[in-house]
Structure 1
Amino acid sequence: MHLVLLVGAVLLLISGIFLQMWSVRPARIGAQYALQLPAVLLYALGAAMLLFVSFPDSVSEGRAVGFTLGGAAGFVGFFMICAFAWLSKTRNLDMLEKKMGELEKENRSLSRKVSTRNDQTTHETPLRHERVLYQLNEMKRRGIGFITGDLISVTGVDVWVNSENTRMEMSRVTEPTISATVRFLGAQKDQYGEVVADVIADQLASLMADKARVAAGQVLVTTPGSIADSHDVKRLLHVAAVEGEPGQGYRPVQSIENCVRSVLSEIDRLNHNGEKLRSVVFPLLGTGGGNSDFPYTAQVMVTACVDYLLNHRGSELHTIYLLAHTGAHVVACEEALEADSRLARR
C-alpha cells in the first residue's frame, strides 16, 4: 500500500510541475494565474501523500468552514484554502497580463509603421534575412509566417511560388520582379554569368504551347532549374495572379485567396504523387507594378492559408511563408498574422 501511495505522490508532483510549465507558455497569457490553482492542488495532494507515507503517525488538525480536518486531510485542506484565496485575486492579474500582451503587440506594430514612414527608401531597400513563424493553435506542427529580405536570400524552402500573369509570360531578367528573379536564378549561365539556357521560361513556354492564356488562379508547375542546386528548391509553382490589358498594364486578379488555395492544392497533389514538399514561400501576390495594398493582400493570404491547413489536416505541408521584401511588407504580414486569433507566435 505504501508503495502505491508513494508512486501516486510522485505522479501527482510531476503532473503539477508539467502543468505549471505548460501554464507559463506565451499562448496561456490571460489565464496563467488561474492555472496555478490546479497546479497547487496537485502539489498539495502529492505532498500530503508523501507526508502520510513517510510519517504515518503525523497529525495536522485545523478547522475550515465549520469542519475539523486532521492528518493528511488537514494538510491538503490548508493548501486548498490558500489556493482558493489566491484564485480570488487571479482574475484581475490575468486580465492585466492579457492587456499588457496586447499593448506590447500594438507597440511593435506601431514601431514598425513609424520606422517604415521615416525611411523614405523602405519600398526600394530590401531587409536582412530573418524568419518569423506563427503556429496554428489547433495544429502545433503547422506554421505560417514570413521571411524578410530578398528572394535570392531564401534557401531550404521546398517550393517557391512565382506570381505570374495569365499569359505566363515571365519578366525580363533585368526587371525588379519576382518573375525576373526566378527566371534568372533558374537559368543556366556561362562562366561570365550570362544566360545560355533560359530553363524556366522555356518550360513555361512549352506548357503554354497550345494556348494564349490561362484562367486566373491557374497553377503551372516547372522544375527549379539551377535553383535546385543554389537554393535547395524542389519545385517552382507559377500562379496566374495578375492579368493585363493593352495600355492599362497589369492588375491583380479578383480572387487572391483562390490563387493561394490553388497553389496549396497543387502541392498536396504533388505530395500525393510521391514528392516530399514540406514548405513553401509566397510573394505578396499581385502587389507589384505600383500596387501598394499590402495590408489587404497579406490579410487575405494569411486567412486563406490558415483556412486551408485547418480544412486539410492530412496535408503533408507544414510551413507556409510570405516574402516580406521591405519594411512595408513586414508591417502588413505581421499585422495580418497577429490579427488571426487562430495563430500564436512561436
Structure 2
Amino acid sequence: MSPLHLIITAVFTVSGVGLQIWSSSPRRSERQYALQLPVILLYSLAAALFLFSVFPDSLTEGRALGFGLGGAAGFAAFFMLASFAWLARTRRHDEAAAELKKLGRENAALRRQLLAEHGSEDAPPRVAPCTRYERPLRGDQRHRVGMVTGNLADILGADVWVNSENTRMEMSRVDEPTLSAAIRYHGGRRDDAGHLVQDTIAAELAERMAGRSYVTAGQVLVTGPGELRESHQVQRILHVAAVEGEPTSGYRQVMDLERCVRNILTEADRLAAEGEALRSVVLPLLGTGGGNSDLRKTAERLLSSTVVYFRSHPASRIRIVYLLAHTDVQAAVCRAALEAEQELTPQDR
C-alpha cells in the first residue's frame, strides 16, 4: 500500500469519526439519522481503498436495475441502493425529532413570555386556587366548557376528577409532583401524622386491571374517590391512559387525545345514566406533565373534542367540563383556547 493511499485512507477514517461526533450533537437532533449517510460513505471509502490497495486482485460484482456492475462501479451502486434504503427507514425518525424540537422551542418561548409578564422566577407561579371561568355552547344553555385554576387538591364540589395515567395504570408515588400522586394521596386514608396507611384508590385501580400489565391508549378505568368523597365531594375518579412509556426514554403523550376525551365523557355519561349524580368533570391537560408535548395544541384539542362530544350528545347528563390549569402558563393557554373556540359564546352568561 502506497503512502498516498495510506494517507487518503486515514483522512477518510478521521473525517468519518469527526462527522459522526459532530452530527451527534443535540443541536442537530432533527438531522442525526440523515447525517449518518456521509459518515457511512467515508468509512466505506476508507475500507474499499484499503482493501483494493492491499489486495489489488480483489473484485466486487453485482447487478442493479438489470445491469451488471463490477469494481468501483459495483461498490458505488451498492452504496447508493443502501443509502436510499437507509433514508426511507430513518426519515420519519428525523421528522419526529424535528417536530419535538420545534414544540420545545414553542414551549420555551411561551414560558419566557409569561415570565416576562409575571416575574422572573425559575418556575411559573401557581395561580390563585379555584378560580373558575365558564362559557356555554352557542345555542345550548345546557352544556358549558370552562377552566378551573389552581391546585387540584384545593378544588371542591366537582363530581368527577380525571386522572391522566400511563398505559400501565401505575399511579405515581405519593411524594412525586403529579396529579396522579395528589389523587392517590388525598384519596387514601392517612394517620394523624399525614402518612398514607390505606392506599385506597391505587389498590382499587390495580383490581380493575384484573391481572393485565397494560391497557390500550385512551382506555378509561373507573374507581371510587376514596377519602375524596368526604373531603372534596368527588364522586368518581376516571383514570385515562393518556401517556405511553418507552424503556429508558420516559413517557410521552398518546397521539389520539380525542379518543381519550370521548371515552372519558362516554364513561361519565354511562355512570350518570345508571343513577349517579354526575354533572361536572375536571379534565387536566392530558399528557403534558413530562414536558414532551405542546400545551397550546393540547388545550385546543381537549376543548374541541369536548365541544364535539356535547354537539353529538345533546342529551348528555354532564353539564360542564373544566380544563384544569395548574400554573399561569396553563391558565394562559386554556383561556386563549376558550376565547378562540367559535362554538362557545363570546362571554359568560
TM-score (norm 1): 0.66
- Cα displacement string for residues 201-237 of structure 1 (whole angstroms, at most 9, x for unaligned residues): 1011111132110000000000000000110000000
Provide runs of 4+ in structure 1 moved above 6 Å: none
Deviation at 1:245, TM superposition (A): 1.1
Counterpart CA distance in 2 for 1:287 and 1:301 is 12
Q: Using the alignment, how far apart are the partners of 1:315 and 1:289 within structure 2? A: 32
The code of the aligned residue for 1:205 comes to A
Residue in 2 that maps onto 1:192: 193
Could you tell me whether the CA contact under 8 Å between 2:252 and 2:293 is conserved in 1? Answer: no
- Per the alignment, residue 326 of structure 1 pairs with 327
Residue 122 of structure 1, CA deviation: 7.5
**Residues 256 and 301 of structure 1 are in contact (CA less than 8 Å); yes or no, is this contact kept in structure 2?**
yes
Specify the code of the residue in structure 2 equivalent to 1:247.
T
Structure 1 residues 336 and 113 mapped into 2: Cα distance closer, same or farther (>3 Å)?
farther
Structure-1 residue corresponding to 2:240: 239
Paired residue for 2:184? 183
Shift of 1:276: 1.2
8 Å contact from structure 1 (residues 123, 326) kept in 2: no
Distance, in Å, in 2 between the alignment partners of 1:282 and 1:266 is 14
CA contact 2:251–2:290 (8 Å) conserved in 1: yes
Q: Distance in 2 between matches of 1:263 and 1:165?
A: 15
Matched, 1:206 2:176: no
Instruction: Provide the residue aligned with 2:264 in structure 1.
Output: 263
Distance 1:244 1:320, change over 3 A: same
Partner residue in 2 for 1:217: 218
Match for residue 146 of structure 1? 147
Q: Match for residue 285 of structure 1?
A: 286
CA RMSD of aligned residues (A): 1.7
CA distance in 2, matches of 1:199, 1:271: 23
1:24 aligned partner: none
Unaligned runs of 5+ in 1: 1-111
Aligned partner letter, 1:254: M
Q: 1:202 is aligned with what amino acid? A: A
> How far does residue 290 in structure 1 lie from its aligned partner after superposition?
2.1
How far apart are residue 135 of structure 1 and its match?
A: 0.9
2:215 partner amino acid: V
* Residue-by-residue CA offset, 1:36-82 (whole Å, 9 max, x unaligned): xxxxxxxxxxxxxxxxxxxxxxxxxxxxxxxxxxxxxxxxxxxxxxx
Counterpart position of 1:306: 307
Q: Distance in 1 between matches of 2:173 and 2:120?
A: 27
Aligned partner letter, 1:185: H
Partner of residue 30, structure 1: none
Deviation at 1:316, TM superposition (A): 0.8
Secondary structure of the corresponding residue to residue 179 of structure 1 = helix
State how far apart, in whole Å, the 1-side matches of 2:319 and 2:112 are: 30
> Paired residue for 2:126?
126
Q: Aligned-pair distance for 1:114?
A: 4.7
Q: SS of the counterpart of 1:333?
A: helix
Change beyond 3 A, Cα 1:115–1:229: same
The CA distance in 2 between the partners of 1:326 and 1:221, in whole Å, is 27
Find the counterpart in structure 1 of residue 163 from structure 2. 162
**Unaligned residue ranges in structure 2 (runs of 5+):** 1-110
**Matched-pair contact (CA < 8 Å) for 2:146–2:321:** yes
User: Structure 2 vs 1, CA of residues 261 and 268 (structure 1 numbering), >3 Å: closer, same or farther?
Assistant: same
Q: Which residue identity is paired with 1:263?
A: I
User: What amino acid maps onto 2:322 in structure 1?
Assistant: Y
Q: Cα deviations across residues 87-106 of structure 1 (Å, max 9, x unaligned)?
A: xxxxxxxxxxxxxxxxxxxx
Q: Are residues 1:343 and 2:341 paired?
A: no
Determine if contact 1:122/1:327 at 8 Å carries over to the other structure: no
Would the aligned equivalents of 2:124 and 2:329 in 1 still touch at CA under 8 Å?
no
SS of 2:307 mapped into structure 1 = helix
Q: Give distance in 1, aligned partners of 2:330 and 2:116.
A: 12
Cα distance between partner residues in 2 of 1:139 and 1:227: 31
Instruction: Read off the aligned partner of 1:210 and give its amino acid letter.
Output: G
Closer/same/farther in 2, CA of residues 303 and 279 from structure 1, 3 Å limit: same
- Aligned partners of 1:123 and 1:327 also within 8 Å: no
SS in 2 for 1:140: strand
Number of residues of Structure 1 aligned to a counterpart in Structure 2: 236
Shift of 1:324: 0.5
Aligned to 1:136: 137
Structure 2 matches for 1:5-24, cutoff 5 A?
none
Write the letter of the residue equivalent to 1:183: R
Contact (CA 8 Å) 2:148, 2:322: kept in 1 or not? Answer: yes
- Could you tell me how far apart the structure 1 residues matched to 2:145 and 2:122 are? 24
Shift of 1:123: 4.4
Q: Partners of 2:274 and 2:148 in 1: how far apart?
A: 28
Indicate the residue corresponding to 1:57 in structure 2: none
Change (3 A) 1:230 1:335: same
